[in-house]
Every structure is written in structure tokens, then in C-alpha cells.
Amino acid sequence: MIKWKNRREKGGTPIRYLDISPLGDNSMIIRLGEQADEETHKKVRAVSECLSLHPFDGMVEVIPAFTSVAVVYDPARMFLQRDITGSHSEIRYPFERVRDMLQRIMEQLSETADRKSRLVEIPVCYGGAYGPDLDQVAEINRLTPEEVVHIHSSSEYLVYLIGFAPGFPYLGGMDPRIAAPRRQTPRLAVPSGSVGIAGEQTGVYPLESPGGWQLIGRTPISLFVPDQSPPVLVEAGDVIRFYPISRQTFEEWGEGI
């Protein structure tokens, strides 16, 4: 189930950044913070949305991450562009042009107020065949499996970014009381929809793939459907809330898909 919710953010506040520097010969990186938290994520989202909606001539792609935004550009195209004085410059490198352009953009950019985001509720069948590592996660943290489920399903998780696999959400906000290390031996095939824990992060495998996260449950919902538009269920900036369902409900849900 998807709901819209308003997330109050300060408006008119200039976005501070650490630095803008080259990342290879065809991209720049804007570093916006030193640690992944909600405040830094607001900056990442504002910068990536601004550049995506208003790309400069020669820009190829914007790639948001936990604490930074990478901007890919076409060096040849940037080299041939005129500088701000209107004349060709043979002494300036393409990365200098892009850096100056990004600095001007950052000077004018501010955080947006009353940003609307989605609350995505995802059903999960915890434990048993669908969550084979639930007991181990509970044992590591000296909790009962029921307590792990309660803690995991009582939090709201901010989607920082999508990566690793199509539709795989990197989430923030997991309670450290249920943190667990990765498996020493990764599985060769983790079923799609599996909900896992690795360190102080939780996530959902959108496709069957190898993986070493501790599996505590599985959802019958598909997070990635290639022939749909958009193909992913959740996007950066969304908020996820998990809720428990029984094995019978899981199987009935799957039959209805």
C-alpha cells in the first residue's frame, strides 16, 4: 500500500557542501556531508533533483549516493563550449568549466520546504522458510524472534538510494538492537522479495541474486517489474514501513499476483 505524506523541511536554507572535485575524466562529485543521515540526504535529493530537472548543456547523468552527487558530463562537448565571457578558451579544461558551473548552481540552490514523499507499506512473512536467519539474528542480539519482528516492523525506513540491483533500496533508520553481521558464506541464490539485515542496515532483494545478508523474512510484493512504468516500487526519498503477515496470507497473496 502506498500513501502520500508531507515531510516538513526547512525552506530557503542555502545548501552547504564540502567540496566539488573531479571524479575521473568525465565526471565531478559534489560532497554534501561526512555521514549518511537524513539531513545530508535532503541535500543530496535537492541537488540531484535540481540537476535532473535543469541539466546544463553537456551533462549526461546525475548519480545520487549516501553523502554525495556525481555528475557525468561529455568532456568533448564541454571543451567546445564558450565560457561565460562568450569567447572560446583554449587554456581551460572541461572539468574546470563544469566545476565553475556547479559552484554557481550551488550558490543559488536552497532546500525546499514541505517536500511531499511517499509512505510505502510492505507486507513481510517473517521467519520459517521465508526468514531462515531470523533465529540467528535474535540469538546474536539476545532477543526472541518475536522481539526482532516487533522492532523491525515498528520503524520507518528512509530510502537513501537505489543500487546494487534494479530496485534494491538502501534504507536508513534501522534500530541497532537488531543489527547483525553478514553471513560468513553468502548464499548463491537469495529469492526475490527476501528481507535481510547486514550490519545496521535492512533491505529487500528485488530479484533473485547471490547475497550475504541475514534473511529474516520475505515479501510477496515485487519491487522491480521491468515492463511497468516506473519499473521500481520505491524511489529515493520514499519512506518504507514493514508489517507482518502470516504464511497463509503470503501464499494467498502470491496466488493473486
Given pLDDT bands bounded at 50, 70 and 90, which one contains residue 253?
confident
Given pLDDT bands bounded at 50, 70 and 90, which one contains residue 4?
very low
Q: Mean pLDDT across the stretch 1-20?
A: 63
Query: Residue 115 carries which side chain, given as an amino acid letter?
Result: R
Q: Mean pLDDT across the stretch 151-177?
A: 91
Given pLDDT bands bounded at 50, 70 and 90, which one contains residue 11?
low
**pLDDT at site 85:** 45
Distances (CA, A) of 66 to 6, 74, 140, 165: 22, 24, 28, 16
**pLDDT at site 154:** 96
**When comparing pLDDT for 18 and 217, which is higher?**
217
Given pLDDT bands bounded at 50, 70 and 90, which one contains residue 37?
confident
Contact between residue 218 and residue 122 where contact means Cβ atoms under 8 Å apart: no
What does the alpha-carbon distance between residue 237 and residue 119 come to, in Å, rounded to a whole number? 10
What does the alpha-carbon distance between residue 9 and residue 148 come to, in Å, rounded to a whole number? 31
Q: Domains of the chain (ranges plus CATH)? A: 19-108 (3.30.1360.40), 119-255 (2.40.100.10)
Per-residue pLDDT at 7 exceeds 70: no
Verdict on whether the full-model pTM lies above 0.85: no
The least confident of 48-62, 83-97, 235-249 is 83-97
Given pLDDT bands bounded at 50, 70 and 90, which one contains residue 247?
very high
Q: Which percentage of the chain shows pLDDT scores above 70?
A: 86
Residue 42 DSSP code: H
Given pLDDT bands bounded at 50, 70 and 90, which one contains residue 120?
very high
- Does a cis peptide bond (omega within 30 degrees of 0) precede residue 55? no
**pLDDT at site 226:** 86
Q: pLDDT tens across 60-78, in order?
A: 999 998 899 999 999 988 8
Query: Residue 19 carries which side chain, given as an amino acid letter?
Result: D
**pLDDT at site 257:** 43
